[in-house]
Amino acid sequence: MMTPERTVGRLSLYRRLLVAMRNRGTRHVFSHELASAAGVTAAQVRRDMMTVGCSGSPARGYDVPELIEHIGLFLDADEPEAVALVGVGNIGRAMMAYFEGRRPKLKMVAAFDQDGSKTNRVVHGCRCYPIEDMASVVDDRGIRVAMVAVPAEAAQDVADVLVRAGVRGLLNFAPVAIRVPEHVYVEDIDVTTSLEKVAFFARQKRAHKVSVS
Amino acid sequence: MMTPERTVGRLSLYRRLLVAMRNRGTRHVFSHELASAAGVTAAQVRRDMMTVGCSGSPARGYDVPELIEHIGLFLDADEPEAVALVGVGNIGRAMMAYFEGRRPKLKMVAAFDQDGSKTNRVVHGCRCYPIEDMASVVDDRGIRVAMVAVPAEAAQDVADVLVRAGVRGLLNFAPVAIRVPEHVYVEDIDVTTSLEKVAFFARQKRAHKVSVS
DNA sequence: GCCTGTGAAGCTATTCACAGCT
DNA sequence: AGCTGTGAATAGCTTCACAGGC
């Protein structure tokens, strides 16, 4: 039974919303409340809860702390996951700053860059190594997850080295499709495509509005 | 006839791949070649080409410059689209640097931040204004597309102001679901969710591998 | 009355498969 | 022989709708 990609994404979002609710003192939540916060339907939330094996009561809805724990058991590894970053440019540094202390189960433990002026330093609590050390450090530390934030031309080579060193999941910021063996998972974040989509649909909406009114 | 979101995303990717091909001197391309570069099936590429109203020949495949032009006619506005950025933190600055001169049809023309030390300066060719000026600048310049790169707590308020000022498309980096009227399009880039997905499926793949062998 | 849990229905997106062309 | 264009089939995801419970 393979959990759908979309479901995993929503669970991650639910968890953050639930943690925020808990911090505000909320103890129980109905599917339609969580749905509204997450921007999905109530039926969708209930389906997703089935995936993590959580049930609620008709009277009170779902128990917030219990939900948070179950989603954690489902999503997280037992041990915190070590993450590598390749490419300490603008995006790479932004990611370091962003993840510093945010998700304790995902710890950026090593960064790599070609540029000697960036290496052998500690940035945002993460040591930067020369790119040549990538294979050995990833292998030594048993790193399974890596972020690729290098220019498009370099992305495939970097991915190849990472995969050979044992990485099983890649978060790719380079605006190209990376080829990997079947046993490796790749998620792309392509800001150019995203912005072009936004511009396209923003225009559509305008056109539609005119034609309707 | 509303073009599917996924199709628009793929067209954006195809275009970049095609431009790279053209720069290498490639004149013609078969659906399976473009498919392989984009990481999709050949049938998918042919379907997408129907959307932009482009046809190829069985002998030579598709004409690369023609494809680039047709995708441009389909995706782009006639005039370059002005884009606003809200939040000049790590991610905001990375986006400024990234888009500087990259897509001439999408021009970052104004940035906004709360922090006085960041405003009234020009960063990466983009003027930074105090957040209070957001509504008036967006309205005056007729900006229809904006990137939201502020902390989660501020995202909804920022979005509300932008929408009231005329924005029709948002690229949201804040890790929350933003509520907008029906005539506004929102695309989310949620790096926490993306990284959690990668970690989850990296683990699955490992488990799967063991159980198969 | 309003909730959850879930089989069944409905939708959307992708892939198949083959006629037609060169 | 190998390609494109596309109706038909399939697969995957979401919503409906209602039984069961408080």
Which sequence spans correspond to the domains of chain B? Answer: 5-74, 81-192
Q: Which residues of B touch A81 (CB under 8 A)?
A: 199
Statement: residue A212 has pLDDT above 70: no
What dihedral do alpha carbons B39, A152, B6, B69 form, nearest 10°? -100
State pLDDT tens for residues B107-134.
999 999 999 999 999 999 899 999 999 9
pTM, two decimals, is 0.94
Q: What's the pLDDT at A70? A: 97
Q: How far apart are CA B200 and CA B206, in angstroms?
A: 10
Any CB–CB contact under 8 A between A200 and chain B? yes
B173/B191 Cα distance (integer angstroms): 8
Q: What is the rounded average pLDDT of the residues B131-153?
A: 97
CB neighbour class for B105 (10 Å; exposed up to 12, middle 13-18, buried from 19) = middle
Average pLDDT of B82-99?
97
Among A6, A68, A52, A60, residue whose Cα is nearest residue A33:
A60
pLDDT at residue A125 in the model: 87
CATH number for the domain formed by residue range(s) A81-192: 3.40.50.720
User: In Å, how far are B145, B162, B171 from B112, measured between CA atoms?
Assistant: 14, 11, 15
The pLDDT value recorded for residue B211 is: 46
Query: What is the pLDDT, as a whole number, of residue B165?
Result: 98
CATH of span B5-74: 1.10.10.10
Give the closest residue to C22 (Cα–C1′). B59
Cβ–Cβ contact A202 with B under 8 A: yes
**Is residue B93 over pLDDT 60?**
yes
- Which helix (H) or strand (E) is A75 found in, with range? helix A64-75
From A51's Cα to the closest Cα of chain B, the distance in A is: 14
B95 to A107, A175, B14, B53, B85: CA distances (angstroms) = 24, 14, 22, 32, 9
Asked if residue B42 keeps its beta carbon closer than 7 A to nucleic acid strand D, the reply is yes
- Beta-bridge partner residues of A82: A107
| pLDDT score of B104 | 87
In chain B, which residues have their Cβ closer than 8 Å to the Cβ of A95?
Answer: 191
Which CATH code is given to the segment(s) A5-73? 1.10.10.10
Of A102, A170, A179, the CB nearest to B198: A170
Strands B106-113 and B121-123, sheet pairing: unpaired
User: What is the per-residue pLDDT across A84-114, written as a single tens digit (0 to 9) for each?
Assistant: 999 999 999 999 999 998 898 999 999 999 9
Query: Do the chains contact at B202 and A168, CB–CB below 8 Å?
Result: yes
Confidence at residue A213, expressed as pLDDT on a 0 to 100 scale:
38
The answer to whether residue A28 scores a pLDDT higher than 50 is yes
The predicted structure's pLDDT at residue B155 = 98
Q: Which residue from B98, B190, B196 is facing A91, i.e. has the nearest CB?
A: B98
- Rounded to the nearest angstrom, the gap between the alpha carbon of residue B133 and the centroid of all alpha carbons in its chain is 25
Pull the structure tokens for residue B6.
Answer: 């996924």
Q: Note the residue count of chain B.
A: 213
Q: Which residues pair with B83 in a beta bridge?
A: B108, B145
